A and B are shown apart, each in its own frame.
Chain A
Amino acid sequence: MKTNYLLPNKYKLLGWPLFIFGLIGGIFISVSNFETTGPSIKVLSIYSESFIDSKNHFFKVIENEILDEIIAVFIIIGGLIVGFSKEKVEDEFIYKLRKDSLVWAIIFNYVILLFTILFIYDLAFFDVLVYNMFTPLIFFIIRFNFLKRKANSHDE
């Protein structure tokens, strides 16, 4: 099966640790109510809004605590690598499983988001938005690995 967007299989060795560390870090800062923030460094902000005077700033260097950024990058890059690296034997059936999982993940994610839009309000909804940045990818990876395992288990 020729596909032009899949990474070689060996990238999974890099993707899984990144993804797992990212998820553990993500759970950790969620539990600590986003109060663990890591080191503070100067970063380039293309667009920012000041808390004090609500003024918009463009292309300004600001100070930012970067633990949450690091964790988000780990989850996204790790997740993309895990989800979009070739299997040991990459063929059309695996390709179909991957596509089906993607469709499933998008629909499932938006059904849950719809539910939270209707039933979760105030600051709690901010948490929903944070998690929703990662859930499509996470649902996709879980579903894909579940389908692969299922295809593996019913033997001759």
Chain B
Amino acid sequence: MTNNIKVQRAIHNMTQADLAEKISVSRQTINAMEKNKYVPSTVLALKISKLFKVLVEDLFILEEND
């Protein structure tokens, strides 16, 4: 699975730390997600998409090997 968190973050002009604070996780979590090293829970995915006002499907994209 891949995601557009970094792009959305740039659009909203947020740092990793800003986003982390808004959804009350650590900055490492954001970093790990952007590097595709961590797949967030459904709850966290929904929180992020709500914050950026986009659909979860537009933020997180399945890849062929998923």
Residues of chain A touching chain B, judged by Cβ–Cβ distance below 8 Å, are 87-89, 91-94, 96, 148, 151-152, 154-156
Supposing A89-B25, A89-B26, A91-B26 touch, asked if A154 and B31 sit within 8 A by C-beta, the answer is yes
> CB-CB < 8 A to A94: which residues of B?
26, 28-29
Q: A151 CA to B27 CA in the complex, in Å?
A: 9
Q: How large is the interface on B (under 10, 10 to 19, 20 to 34, 35 or more residues)?
A: 10 to 19
| Cβ A93 vs Cβ B24 within 8 A | no
> CB-CB < 8 A to A148: which residues of B?
28
Interface set, chain B 3-46, CB cutoff 8 A to A: 15-16, 20, 24-26, 28-29, 31-32, 35, 38, 40-41, 44
Q: A92 CA to B38 CA in the complex, in Å?
A: 10
Nearest Cβ on chain B to A9's Cβ, whole angstroms: 12
Nearest Cβ on chain A to B47's Cβ, whole angstroms: 11
Nearest Cβ on chain A to B37's Cβ, whole angstroms: 8
